[in-house]
Structure 1
Amino acid sequence: MRVSIDETDVIAPNFKKRLSGVTSTIVQLIPLQRKKGIRISTIGPGLPDSLPSLGYSSLLKLWKRPDGKPFRIWHARRNVEMVAGILLRDLFRMKLKLIFTSAAQRQHKPFTNWLIRKMDKVIATSARSGSFLEVPYRVIMHGIDLDRFTPPATFEDTFQSTKLPGKYAVGCFGRVRHQKGTDLFVDAMIELLPHYPDWTAIITGRTTAEHKDFEKELERKIAAAGLQKRILILGEVDDIRVWYRRVTLYVAPSRNEGFGLTPLEAMASKTAVVASDAGAYQELVTEGTGTVVPAGDGKALTEAIKPYLEDPEKTIAMGEKALEHVQKDFPLDKEASSIDEVYQELFTKK
């Protein structure tokens, strides 16, 4: 949906064609921000046509102030977007202030640090990502759309509706690859499932060409253990949301992440979580909602999952607490409001 620069106070660029966590954040946030009265638009490829977006020719009008504001805000989430903002503001002297949201869980390279120092405001998506910044920042954690991810409500939301074996399901969703720890999940299931016949393991997610051999090795392991009917690799599914509702336990075994939304998606679906401490997982999963283990530690992951399989009723109760936790602390509306506070601080700063 093309909009005019004249009705835009904040620009959220998206300079990457392929779907990513950053793209997903923009897609979810912008419609909500618009509903809250924030005149925000995006620019760049790879976004739904329904989002309010600017054509590149609109950038030529950034020398002019927006109505009622001294400048516009350029809200970058990638290095290339910071570079573009700096060029527009400092080289072309356009009336812009720059914000960067950082999700990285590592030391930044010198060039990235230089870019970040050029920002007018910096947001960190977690305390951990903020710890790698060399400038003042505000932590604003990602939220979850509680209208999209919801607890079970119908028979279709139950595991029994799938007609797969077992009474309960434990899930691991996301791209099938080493970085996501899918192999750690499979190893844990091979060890545990023979002792817990009521449980079935579900793996969903895309396997790209470069990771096909990895997936084949997982299938070989599963077959060697004789568990082909109890550890199922479903590939991409039409609607992942219903699978979050069908599983009683969700496992997020990533070796590394930027932020990682899947535990929030699971908890919003009333599902308990076992996660590694990759990304922001440790800040998302609290006592009573799940368990966090060291990333890459397969033994610790297996031991953490075991009590959940032993006591399904307790696992279900923890899912209820997880839902309460997300509804209270991680609604997407809270993230949008907190970001707007940063915008307003810039707009009103003398």
Structure 2
Amino acid sequence: MISPCWAWALLLFFFALAFYLMVGYPLLLWKWPFPRLAVAKDLSYLPSVSVLMAVHNGADFLEEKLNSLLALDYPPDKLEIHVLSDASSDQTEAIALRYADRGVILHSLPRGGKAAALNYGMNRATGDIFFFTDVRQKLHPQALRQLVANFADSKVGAVTGELRITPLGGVEGEQAAMDLYWRYELWARSKQSAQYSLFNTTGCLYAMRRSLTKALPPHTLIDDAELPLQAYLAGYRILFDPTSLAYDFPTAQGTEWSRRMRTLGGMWQVFARHPRLLFLPHPMWLHFVSHKFGRLLLPWCLLGIAITTLLLPAGWPKTFLLWNEAALLLLAAVFPLLGEKSALRRYSSWARTFLVMNFAAILSLKVFFVDPQRMWLTTQVDRERRAS
């Protein structure tokens, strides 16, 4: 049995670390006078661009997406669009073929996953800039031009834009909690980009110099981190440009779990493949450890707090902590029982999402023990509620 002194020491350590990750680092980003680096952005800079879009059974969205791509404010003679069909069995390929006379190139591939499809596309694309996007999200007409303008700066290796989730009829439940998290993520990206660089991008809206891209390792779960990091590790900046916009549907209630598992599993892959980001100094080391690695470290801190609380000697401090931890669990558990007009519903939703997402972070370690392709599930979106 661990001694009371060690139990208290471990509890304080886990609590301090969790507090830093959830509160301390955001405060540091907000208040610390980090230097700001300018970007030599030039909207008249118009290199050739290859659009790379991996699709598996995306017929519900493909026509609207292709129309969005063809409506981009970019010279058509400097733009090629590659649809990389990953063994689609619906009407994806038939839809893409209808756009062949407008410059859309269809590649019919055997089932191999997104990484394999993108590798195939990168080997055949001819543009100086690769623009990566997904089938579901609609693009603002200026999205590509705004991204590409940043490459006029020779120190920029990759650029991402802002994804906006715009449901009609309000945001509630799990989506409200995720919306709050996404707004924090965009704010943090703007701060990190201004200081020097990001570490990852938004998968449906990022561009990268062709000269910096290398083939993705098999079964890569998050290309939007693995590819841009190639630029960062080569000494280039990854920027966030909020003037480049894409729009998406909210995810359907209860589906955020699988997407989170895949994203966090992909982050474990990044750490395993690039340990130097954790253990060797680089310009954004503090931010990488605090923001990216901290996202995977936080649930273990919370688990440590729960375990060390049980190891404390009997007394009012232990009772107080146990009641608070139980209250958080109970608040999360009662969410399905609360009516739409319940005053507790919002707080219960936040508690539930917080615990579920941290539990997903712990289970995401399975990426090292199962075929990563099994962590790929099609993201379900709430199209009906958005359209209502």
Q: TM-score, normalised by structure 1?
A: 0.31
| Superposition TM-score, scaled by structure 2 size | 0.28
More helix by share: 2
Which structure carries more relative contact order (alpha carbon 8 Å, separation 6+)?
2
